[in-house]
Each structure stands twice: as C-alpha cells, then as structure tokens.
C-alpha cells in the first residue's frame, strides 16, 4: 500500500478537468459448446484451517446476544459507524427467528464513506457512512446510512432475496474451498493456486442447488486451462463446492502476464468522479453525473431546455448467463475502482464527445468504461455505459459488453433503471393500432411478434400535460451494430418513503434466469400497485447473446499481433432504448 505521504504528493497533481469531450452426463463436443457438469458434495472442506477458524467464530457469534459477524480492520470512523448501525433497533430487527428466537447468521459485509448520490441533499456536508449487512438465513440485505458527526442513523433499508458484494475475507474463504477441493484438482489435472483464480468475488447461481435463483450466497472462482474455463461454484452459506462447470473461452493469443497501469489512474477517478458529482451543460442539456459504488455511472437532474425530464438513470446490474439449462454465470457489479467490491471497475475518466451525422453536430454522448484488470484475457469483462443527448430533445440510455467474458455462449442482461421526472405520469404500450394504458405495475418482453408504431415506438410515458416520451427499443436500427434488444420492460411506482433503487443497489437479481425474473419484479410482486398518474420508474433489460464465430462475432474480443505487439479487436454488443419527445 502506498504511504500517506506519497498519496498526498500524488493527489496534489490531480486535476478534475475532463479534457476529453445432480451429476450431468458429459458431452465432449466442443463444436456444440457443450458444458461438462459434475455435482460435488465435499465434506473435507471443514478440515481447511481457515474454515476451522471461521466455524469457531460463527459458533461464538451465534451464542452472543447480538449475532452479527463484524467487519474487522476498519479505520476509526468506519468502526464507529458500524457500532452505531448495529445498535439501531431497526437495523438489527432481523437477528433472530421471531417464533423460535434462535439466532440467524448475520454479517457486516461492507462499511464505506457514502457516495454523494446516496446522501440526502440536506446532509451533503455531513460525514455519512454506509453499512451493509447480510442475513444468510433469510437471504436478506439490510443497509444503513450513519451520520458520524452526530452519531445517528439517517436511514435503514432492507432488500429481500438480495446480496451485497462480498468482502475480501469471504473471497479468500471461497478460494481456499475451491483450491483444496479434490474434484477441482482432478478436473484441472493439478492442484491450482489461489492466484490463478479469476472472478472469485463475483456472485453466481447453479440450477438444482441452493445457489439457484440466488437463494444462497454463491460465488464462482474460475480457472483457465487451454481454451476452457473451469467454474468452481462455491456455496458460502453452506461452505462447500456445489458444482463445477466447463465453458469454452476461445483461443488466447495474448501473454498470460500483463503489467497494469490502471492503478495510476484510480486516484483521479476516485477523487474527481466517485467522491464528487460533476455538472455538465452542453447544447440544450444540463445534467449531473457520478460514478457509483456498484451501479455504474449515474446521471441525475437531467434537463432539456431547462426542464427536468429525468430524475436519474443508471445500470444497476450486469447479469451474464452461460447456460439455459444449468443456470450459471455471474452477477457483475460495476463501479468505482476503490472502496468498492465491484468486479469490473472504472478504468478511465468519463468521456464527452459530439455526435456528428453528415458533417452536422446533432448532439453529444457521455461515456464511461469499466474493465477487469486483465481484459481481454478470458474470464475478464469490459463494459461501456453510454448516454446520448440530442439537440431535438431525444436521449438514449445504452450499455455494451466489449467481450470476451468467460465463455462463448453467454447472454448479457444489463438492468437499466430510469426514473422519470413528474408525479402524474402514465405509461402505455402500442397494441397494433392504438395505445393501451397500463393501470398497474407490470412487465412485458419484446419478441419477434411485438408490434410497433410506424416510427418504431413500443411504449410511451406521458404526464397530465401531454408531454413525455415515446420509447423506441433497439431492433438493430441505431447504427451501433446491435442485433436487437429482446428486452424486458418493467414499470414500477416510485416511493419517496422507501428505497427501491434511488441509492446504490445491491445485486437485486440472479445472474442466470432466462425469464422475467431479472430483479425489478421484486418491486412489483406479489401485489402490483396502481400506477395511474404516478411517479414512475422504467426498468429496461436487454438480452444480448454473444458469438465467437469468425466473421459473425458479437459481445466478443480477441487479441492479435500487429507489428510484433499485441492489440485487441472488439466486437461490441450495444443495447438500450431511445426516448423520443411526444409531439403535441
């Protein structure tokens, strides 16, 4: 770790100016991209020293009056924030079974300085910390905002069937369980080392186990061998390997060891774009943006001709599924490069650039890149978030995978959240020849038989004055190489008295569901609310299938030699809707 002295010297030179506008039968057919599967029941894991220590700690904590495994090695303020949170009755209301009074296993996963977008406007000058606690028995996440200055709890929020990003010590436990598993060594042909594992802190799922639908906290340390990746799916609720899976990752021409210079950029990104909100005015638009802890880049207070049209918009999750039958993959969080457990982090400054067509400037784009450390090597990810703003009032929220990922048969499902301005909005869908209003919260999926207006619109959102936007999903018409979104659209009612995504969200959906259960449905079910004349949130989840077929690549990247050095060619898959102003 760098010394404080060195850090201070470096920060002195930071400028925040943005100068750039059960056992499965094996199938050995690689051609069919088959996935080999072996389910495992590993009892030897309990002999690992770190697990002996872990189990002793759990036993001691469960016998205590306050059954919470605390986060260690915190600085003074973070430790104070943790103690204030656990002393709060609302934060600690789910520590015991209410019928039997037996203790649940609870654990503090993260304590960090809250980001600007998480802090109420009247407390922006206060020292606010965010604390995240996970309940293993209830699969429940509880978060608290704590004001260090007056030693008070500002707010408490609970998220059912949700999991925070895991802390480093749990990542290390998962690695120990994986590398000491005999079936893993048998599959690889040798006992792997911890340093070989990729994506060890990224949550996953697996059908026919308790990891399915993320009912247990599961991660997937992944090991590369030749042109395949071995996924070791570790259940951190029951502390065992529940399965291993192979995926094809394609040939790897790039060297295995690369020296990353990204760390040199992290200080500026943190200081200028994570800890601060940046204001942007360009052409007819005004907006604020910030890089979040786990929800990518968030734009807010978006105004066109001085009228707020969008309260905020972001991508809360990237779900990546690699099997329609076994249901495994990753739930990627993207965000700030430090003080965050995001698996894919911001690696460059935000970029602002003009959109030019036929020599004429018609708007501008705001972009942010997020990348794994060793991308484009296998099992490394690279995502692009892009917002487009046009002079005629249109805007687009979009995101792309730049490959390569951890297999050649993945489906990427980014979860967009767009909160519109106004509290008297209505939502309608085009039904062959007219607009059909939605009276209650619901969802819809874009299919080959979906009908659109002659302009290509599928939905519209409008207020009581008749202003608003048509919603045009991608069908490949945006000249960005897209093959269409096949998107799920959810509409939910915004509540000012509870957090359903206004602040940074924990992972709200499993990685690998192939149906509508992508996360937003939990804000609809089991009793959809009336949304007539309401404050509305639109959730948009495109589905983009990757391909490594030569000449037909999509959501893919590969390295090649040019003039004696390696370069990277990307084949992005871009998804996201266009919002077109209603014409009165």
Phi/psi region, residue 434 (left: phi>0; alpha: psi -120 to 50; beta: rest), is beta
Asked if residue 193 lies in contact with residue 321, where contact means CB atoms within 8 angstroms, the answer is: no
In the CATH hierarchy, which fold is given to the domain comprising 263-581? Answer: Beta-galactosidase; Chain A, domain 5 (2.70.98)
**Contact (Cβ atoms closer than 8 angstroms) between residue 219 and residue 109:** no
- Cis amide prior to 233 (ω within 30 degrees): no
pLDDT in tens, the chain (584 residues): 333 333 333 333 345 665 444 333 333 333 322 223 333 345 566 678 888 899 899 999 999 999 999 999 899 999 999 999 999 999 999 999 999 999 999 999 999 999 888 888 889 889 999 999 999 999 899 999 999 999 999 999 998 888 888 898 999 999 999 999 999 999 999 999 988 888 777 777 666 667 766 678 888 888 988 888 898 988 898 888 888 888 888 765 544 444 344 555 677 898 899 989 999 999 999 999 999 988 999 999 999 999 999 999 999 999 998 877 677 788 888 888 875 556 788 988 999 999 999 999 999 999 999 998 778 888 888 999 999 999 999 999 999 999 888 888 899 999 999 999 999 999 999 998 899 999 999 999 999 999 999 999 999 999 988 899 999 999 999 999 999 999 999 999 998 877 888 888 887 777 888 999 999 999 999 999 999 999 999 999 999 999 999 999 999 988 776 766 677 899 999 999 999 999 86
| HEC profile of 81-129 | HHHHHHCCCCCCCCCECCCCCCECCEEEEEEEECCHHHCCHHHCCCCEE
Taking the C-alpha atoms of residue 337 and residue 524, their distance in angstroms, rounded to an integer, is 33
Pairing of strands 297-304, 285-291: antiparallel
- 3-state helix, strand and coil shares in percent for the chain, rounded to the nearest 5: 15, 40, 45
15: its two tokens:
């400028």
In the three-class reduction of DSSP (H, G, I as helix; E, B as strand; rest coil), residue 28 is classed as coil
Cβ neighbours around 285 below 10 Å, total? 22
* CA atoms in the 13 A half-sphere facing the CB of 172: 9
Query: Do 504 and 462 touch, CB atoms closer than 8 A?
Result: no
Strand order in the sheet with 68-69: 68-69, 106-113, 128-135, 140-147, 152-160
- Residue 84, φ and ψ in degrees, nearest 5: -65, -40
Contact between 457 and 567 (Cβ < 8 Å): no
Task: Return d(Cα 72, Cα 75) in angstroms, integer.
Answer: 9
Domain-by-domain residue ranges, the chain?
Answer: 34-47+167-248, 66-160, 263-581
Give the count of beta carbons closer than 10 Å to the beta carbon of residue 173.
22
Cβ within 8 Å of residue 215, ≥6 positions away: 139, 161
* The pLDDT value given to residue 101: 92
CA atoms of 357 and 173, how far apart (whole Å): 53
Closest among 331, 353, 351 to 511, alpha carbons compared: 331
Q: What is the pLDDT, as a whole number, of residue 240?
A: 87
CA dihedral over 175, 180, 184, 188, signed as positive or negative: positive
Q: How many CB atoms are closer than 10 A to CB 29?
A: 8
Which residue in the block uniquely carries the two structure tokens 């939910």? Answer: 492
Residues 244-285 have pLDDT tens digits of 888 888 765 544 444 344 555 677 898 899 989 999 999 999
β pairing state of 128-135 and 140-147? antiparallel
What confidence score (pLDDT) does residue 339 get?
59
Fold classified for 66-160 = Nuclear Transport Factor 2; Chain: A, (3.10.450)
Rg (CA), the chain: 24
Residue with tokens 């708007």: 363
pLDDT at 449 (0 to 100): 94
d(CA 282, CA 132): 37
432-447 per-position pLDDT tens digit = 889 999 999 999 999 9
Using alpha carbons, list the distances in angstroms from residue 22 to 166, 208, 523: 27, 7, 32
Most distant pair of Cα atoms in the chain: their distance: 71
pLDDT (0 to 100) of residue 213: 63
Q: Which residues pair with 332 in a beta bridge?
A: 318
Preceding peptide of 404 cis, ω within 30°: yes
Which pLDDT value is given to residue 547? 92
pTM of the model: 0.77
């Amino acid at each position: 770790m760098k010394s404080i002295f060195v850090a201070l010297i470096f920060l002195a030179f930071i400028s925040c100016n943005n100068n750039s506008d059960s056992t499965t039968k094996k199938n050995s057919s690689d051609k069919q991209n088959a996935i080999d599967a072996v389910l495992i029941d590993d009892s030897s894991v309990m002999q690992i020293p770190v697990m002996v220590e872990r189990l002793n700690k759990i036993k001691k904590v469960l016998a205590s009056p306050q059954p919470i495994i605390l986060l260690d090695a915190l600085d003074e303020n973070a430790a104070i924030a943790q103690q204030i949170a656990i002393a709060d009755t609302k934060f600690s209301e789910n520590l015991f079974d209410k019928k039997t009074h037996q203790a649940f296993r609870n654990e503090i996963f993260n304590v960090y300085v809250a980001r600007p977008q998480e802090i109420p406007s009247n407390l922006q000058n206060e020292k606010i910390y965010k604390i995240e606690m996970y309940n293993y028995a209830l699969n429940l996440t509880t978060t608290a905002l704590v004001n260090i200055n007056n030693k008070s709890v500002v707010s408490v929020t609970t998220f059912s069937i949700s999991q925070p990003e895991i802390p480093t010590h749990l990542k290390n436990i998962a690695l120990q369980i994986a590398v000491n598993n005999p079936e893993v060594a048998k599959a690889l042909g040798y006992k792997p080392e911890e340093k070989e594992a990729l994506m060890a802190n990224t949550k996953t799922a697996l059908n026919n186990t308790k990891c399915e639908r993320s009912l247990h906290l599961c991660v997937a340390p992944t090991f590369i061998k030749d042109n395949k990746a071995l996924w070791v799916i570790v259940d951190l609720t029951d502390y065992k390997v529940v399965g291993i899976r192979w995926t094809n990752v394609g040939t790897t021409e790039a060297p295995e060891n690369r020296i990353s210079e990204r760390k040199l950029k992290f200080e500026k990104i943190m200081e200028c774009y994570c800890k601060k909100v940046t204001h942007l005015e360009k052409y007819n638009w005004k907006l604020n943006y910030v890089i979040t802890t786990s929800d990518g880049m968030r734009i807010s207070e978006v105004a066109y001709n001085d009228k707020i049209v969008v309260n905020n918009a972001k991508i809360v999750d990237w779900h990546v599924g690699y099997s329609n039958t076994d249901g495994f993959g990753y739930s990627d969080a993207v965000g700030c490069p430090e003080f965050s457990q995001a698996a894919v982090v911001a690696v460059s400054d935000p970029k602002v650039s003009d959109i030019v067509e036929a020599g004429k400037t018609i708007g501008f784009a705001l972009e942010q890149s997020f990348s794994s450390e060793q991308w484009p090597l296998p099992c490394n990810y690279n995502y692009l978030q892009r917002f487009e703003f046009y002079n005629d009032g249109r805007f687009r929220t979009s995101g792309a995978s730049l490959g390569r990922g951890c297999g050649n048969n993945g489906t990427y499902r980014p979860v967009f959240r767009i909160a519109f301005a106004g509290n008297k909005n209505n939502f309608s869908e085009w039904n062959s020849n007219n607009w059909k209003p939605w009276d209650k919260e619901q969802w819809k999926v874009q299919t080959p038989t979906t009908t659109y207006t002659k302009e290509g619109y599928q939905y519209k959102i409008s207020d009581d004055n008749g202003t608003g936007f048509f919603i045009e999903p991608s069908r490949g018409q945006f000249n960005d190489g897209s093959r269409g979104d096949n998107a799920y659209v959810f509409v939910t009612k915004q509540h000012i008295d509870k957090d359903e995504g206004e602040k940074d969200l924990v992972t709200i959906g499993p990685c690998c569901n192939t149906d509508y259960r992508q996360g937003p449905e939990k804000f609809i079910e089991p009793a959809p609310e009336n949304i007539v004349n309401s404050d509305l949130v639109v959730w948009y989840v495109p589905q983009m299938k990757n391909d490594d077929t030569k000449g037909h690549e999509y959501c893919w990247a590969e390295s090649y030699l040019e003039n004696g050095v390696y370069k990277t060619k990307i084949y992005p898959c871009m998804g996201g809707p266009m919002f077109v102003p209603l014409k009165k």
